């Protein structure tokens, strides 16, 4: 299994998030998408500060943007280079 913090996996998540941002806020210039490991493990495997930038630009709460981004992601997130399961 791939290391959840591997650069390839983070780059893959960043590409998926770029597409989600274009769906959620097409009127905005895309903020830089940097997928990082949170400082505190209880906050999950990844963190994304772009949510705060988008929320501020749209005048809504970051949680609202986060929920919309999650909804805009594909339901199934294949790992880079993997094939679909049968």
Whether the predicted pLDDT of 11 surpasses 90: no
Number of domains, the chain: 1
Range of the domain at 55: 7-72
- Residue 85, in any domain of the structure: no
**What digits encode the pLDDT tens for the residues 17-63?**
999 999 999 988 877 888 888 888 888 888 888 888 899 999 999 99
Q: What is the CATH number of the domain that holds 36?
A: 3.30.1360.70
**Structure confidence at residue 1 (pLDDT):** 45
- Residue 86, in any domain of the structure: no
- Residue 81, in any domain of the structure: no
Q: Are 49 and 34 in contact (CB under 8 A)?
A: yes
Single out the residue of 63, 73, 67, 69 nearest to residue 28, CA to CA: 69
**Structure confidence at residue 59 (pLDDT):** 94
- Residue 16, in any domain of the structure: yes
- Residue 64, in any domain of the structure: yes
- Residue 44, in any domain of the structure: yes
């Amino acid at each position: 299994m791939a290391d959840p913090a591997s650069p390839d996996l983070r780059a893959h998540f960043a590409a998926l998030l770029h597409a989600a941002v274009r769906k959620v806020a097409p009127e905005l210039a895309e903020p830089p998408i940097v997928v990082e490991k949170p400082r505190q493990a209880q906050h999950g495997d990844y963190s994304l500060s772009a949510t705060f930038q988008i929320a501020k630009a749209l005048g809504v709460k970051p949680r609202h943007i986060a929920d919309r981004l999650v909804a805009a992601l594909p339901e199934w997130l294949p790992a880079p280079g993997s094939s679909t399961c049968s």
